[in-house]
């Protein structure tokens, strides 16, 4: 079903309080691209794997070279109408929790309070050895100081904050070590092949069990870390609404599926509810 804000508003009103699951489509209007096309197909090269980053210096060089160019765009991104609409749902007590697959912290920048960053947060960096943590801005300063030859801007950003960089520059980058112990620094995000902490997963399951419905915004749900929550909701008999341009892994579980960009539907639906 295409764009129909009234149906979405009716779903929200009938099944609140909701747990909301958001994905990359929620941030696309803020200038951060999505991972997949409307068929759910991955649009870029294979994403970095957790074990490769941990064990291979060349993988860390590739990640930080691309992140050096891509971070300024993510750091300056602003919440869009979808984030604002979700904040309004929280204010109206129609939404009890947002579970986001995004690592950009745009929900929090909009003022949203009840948010779980399922895959971590890109604005923090931690040491894998001593667990000391620094801001991503501080890491950017160190990367720039040690690599004045590297580009610090990009014309093609990836969803996870990295960007295209010439291959001949990647193996020249000097990657800073932890300034406390000399260990490996990693962004505080869950890479592919990594695991979401069990305590986080359990917390989401608990909140779904307390909710009256689930709303998915801007996600294909192709990764199991988010799809399992929809499967759990369906097994518990909870209604599920999905607003996403293109197919999702949970289409057959949905009570309502709107095949449209979320910024075309959710803000209008929320406005209908706020103005009642």
| Residue 105 to residues 29, 41, 86, 121, 161, Cα–Cα distance (Å) | 14, 25, 14, 7, 12
Same domain, 131 and 156: yes
Q: What pLDDT, on the 0 to 100 scale, is given for residue 33?
A: 77
Which of 189, 216, 232 finishes a domain? 189
Portion of the chain with pLDDT greater than 90, in percent? 79
Please state which of the ranges 38-52, 214-228, 237-251 shows the lowest mean pLDDT.
Answer: 38-52
Same domain, 181 and 212: no
Q: What pLDDT, on the 0 to 100 scale, is given for residue 95?
A: 97
Same domain, 115 and 126: no
Same domain, 52 and 164: yes
Count of domains observed in the chain:
2
- The residue from 50, 119, 126, 131 that is catalytic is 119
Rounded distance, CA 78 to CA 192, Å? 26
Average pLDDT, the chain: 91
Beta pairing partners, 133: 126
pLDDT tens string 76-133: 999 999 999 999 999 999 999 999 999 999 999 999 999 999 999 999 999 999 999 9
Which of 135, 169, 189 finishes a domain? 189
Phi, psi of 162, rounded to the nearest 5 degrees: -100, 180
pLDDT tens string 19-51: 999 999 999 999 887 655 555 454 556 678 999
Same domain, 111 and 173: no
Residue 171's CATH number: 3.30.1600.10
Same domain, 126 and 8: no
Closest CA to 22 of 269, 266, 273: 266
Same domain, 72 and 129: yes
- Residue 196 in this model has a pLDDT that exceeds 60: yes
Closest CA to 3 of 274, 257, 276: 257
Same domain, 149 and 98: no
Residue 256's CATH number: 3.40.50.1220
Same domain, 54 and 163: yes
Same domain, 104 and 17: yes
Phi, psi of 65, rounded to the nearest 5 degrees: -65, -45
Same domain, 276 and 184: no
Q: What pLDDT, on the 0 to 100 scale, is given for residue 35?
A: 59
State mean pLDDT over 128-157: 88
Domain that holds residue 106: 1-32+79-119+195-276
Q: What pLDDT, on the 0 to 100 scale, is given for residue 154?
A: 58
Q: Is 180 an active-site residue?
A: no
Q: What pLDDT, on the 0 to 100 scale, is given for residue 275?
A: 83
pTM: 0.92
Which of 189, 219, 237 finishes a domain? 189
Q: What pLDDT, on the 0 to 100 scale, is given for residue 168?
A: 82
Same domain, 113 and 125: no
- Give the helix/strand (H/E) hosting 185: strand 185-189
């Amino acid at each position: 079903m295409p764009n129909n804000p009234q149906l979405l508003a009716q779903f929200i009103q009938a099944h609140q309080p909701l747990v909301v699951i958001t994905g990359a489509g929620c941030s696309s209007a803020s200038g951060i691209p999505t991972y997949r096309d409307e068929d759910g197909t991955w649009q870029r090269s294979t994403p970095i794997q957790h074990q490769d980053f941990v064990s291979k210096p060349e993988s860390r060089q590739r990640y930080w070279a691309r992140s050096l160019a891509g971070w300024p765009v993510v750091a300056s991104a602003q919440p869009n109408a979808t984030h604002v609409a979700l904040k309004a749902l929280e204010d109206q007590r129609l939404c009890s929790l947002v579970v986001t697959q995004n690592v950009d912290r745009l929900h929090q920048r909009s003022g949203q309070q009840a948010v779980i960053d399922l895959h971590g947060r890109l604005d923090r960096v931690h040491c894998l050895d001593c667990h000391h943590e620094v801001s991503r801005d501080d890491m950017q300063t160190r990367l720039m100081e040690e690599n004045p030859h590297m580009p610090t801007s990009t014309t093609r950003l990836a969803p996870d904050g990295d960007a295209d960089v010439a291959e001949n520059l990647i193996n020249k980058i000097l990657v800073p070590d932890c300034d406390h112990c000399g260990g490996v620094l990693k962004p505080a995000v869950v890479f592919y092949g990594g695991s979401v902490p069990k305590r986080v997963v359990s917390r989401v399951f608990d909140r779904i069990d307390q909710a009256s419905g689930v709303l998915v915004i801007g996600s294909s749900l192709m990764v199991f870390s988010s799809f399992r929550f929809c499967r759990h909701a369906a097994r518990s008999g909870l209604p599920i609404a999905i607003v996403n341009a293109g197919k999702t892994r949970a289409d057959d579980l949905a009570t309502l599926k709107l095949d449209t960009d979320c910024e075309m539907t959710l803000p209008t639906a929320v406005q209908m509810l706020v103005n009642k």
